[in-house]
Amino acid sequence: MPQEELLEAVWPETFIKPEVLKSRIFEIRAAGDRRILAPHLLDYSFIQRWSSAYREAHRNTVESLAMLVEGDTEPPYLDTTYWQSYALIPWGLWFLGEWGEALHEIKVAVTLLEKNGDDRAAQMLRLFQAWVHLHAMDFAGVRAICEAVFSWLGEPSATSTLRICQVLAGAAETGLGHYARAREHLVTVRNDMERQMVIRDWYWRMPLELALTDLWLAQGDLAQARSQAERFLQVTLATAERTWQVRAWDAKARVALATRDLSQAQACLTQALSTLEDFEVPTAAWHAHATAAALYERTGNATAQAQHRSLSRSTILQLAQSLGTEEPLRITFLSAPSVRVVLGDTESILVSAAGP
């Protein structure tokens, strides 16, 4: 689908057509007042990010932040746009597979926020840190971060921060094999979303549906997993978010493999691989190619198996390389069982991935 159509298909938190947004950004930029341009450019980056134009969105977010600090001896700590830009930078880096840089940006931002007494924003950035750790398979690390945030939040309330924390904690507990705890977190946040919506629930519903699908699969409840994966797909198809669409098709394929429905798995993976074409979605791509390799191993297609395993492997190593040789999370990621299945000889991979 062309980018213009994707921008129109994104969840309508804004009702301005993409071409109108582009035109207005051009007009504001032409006026020459960069301080006025900065918040509008940030708003536009939201639309780009939600339509999976992550690289362009990241570029505009960085530019917005630079505009806000031009000519100032001190950063504008009280400017909402300034902190929104600071928070969105690591989020964009995660989507782009630049996990190490994302963690660095989070560390810098949290230090500044704590220095200025903005605990709320600091806790949200810690959840972004937990997000990176979750996808690097550091489930114990995610749980530790979430426990600290839960403690800071105090009494439960209908906030976006709480719900994000519950999704992260539930996914981490599944990864740790604590299924009862996982279900408590995930079912609670699902019920809360159905009872009372808060800002951007539409977005966080996608990782929630993935976490629930993974929980049912881990427990061997294939009937629940099948219906959950279908809900996950329908939620993602209502958006233009390619990362989550790929993960949803992959989830359906994994359920089909678990039920030995190889034709269904093939159909879902065809959709997954088609969805990621021409998009930079490394955090989703390695999963889809890994599942495709597993499918072709089942069907005895050695050539296709090797092709998809190679594509998954190269993306995994790209993600690991972004973490740097001194980052413990790198070894955690490369040692994860689902990653080892793709990489094969873990010991040699760890040595080669460490670099010179």
Q: What is the pLDDT of residues 274-308, one digit of tens each?
A: 999 999 999 999 999 999 999 999 999 999 999 99
Q: What is the pLDDT of residue 356?
A: 40
Q: Say if 347 falls within a structural domain.
A: yes
Residues in the chain: 356
Q: Assess contact for 319 and 97: CB atoms under 8 A.
A: yes
pLDDT in tens, 58-99: 998 888 888 877 756 555 555 666 667 777 889 899 999 999
Q: Assess contact for 254 and 217: CB atoms under 8 A.
A: yes
Q: Say if 189 falls within a structural domain.
A: no
Q: Say if 234 falls within a structural domain.
A: no
Per-residue DSSP letter, 356: -
> Please, what's the b/e burial string for 246-277 (b: 16 or more CB within 10 A of its CB; e: otherwise)?
bbbbbbbbbbbbeeeeeebbbebbebbbebbe
One-letter amino acid identity for 155? E
Q: What is the pLDDT of residue 157?
A: 59
Q: Say if 61 falls within a structural domain.
A: yes
HSE on the CB side for 62, CA within 13 Å? 12
Q: Say if 49 falls within a structural domain.
A: yes
Among the candidates 76, 96, 116, a domain finishes at 96
What's the whole-model pTM score?
Answer: 0.88
The whole domain housing 355 covers 280-356
Q: What is the pLDDT of residue 77?
A: 57
Confidence of residue 200 (pLDDT cuts 50, 70, 90): confident
Confidence of residue 6 (pLDDT cuts 50, 70, 90): very low
Confidence of residue 113 (pLDDT cuts 50, 70, 90): confident
163 or 77, greater pLDDT: 163
Q: Say if 253 falls within a structural domain.
A: no
pLDDT in tens, 202-256: 999 999 999 999 999 999 999 999 999 999 999 999 999 999 999 999 999 999 9
Q: How many domains does the structure of the chain reveal?
A: 2
Sequence-ordered strand ranges (E) for the chain: none
Among the candidates 48, 74, 96, a domain finishes at 96
Q: Say if 231 falls within a structural domain.
A: no
141 or 90, greater pLDDT: 141
Mean pLDDT over all residues of the chain?
86
Q: Say if 72 falls within a structural domain.
A: yes
pLDDT in tens, 301-353: 999 999 999 999 999 999 999 998 889 999 999 999 999 999 986 544 554 55
Among the candidates 96, 127, 146, a domain finishes at 96
Q: What is the pLDDT of residue 8?
A: 42
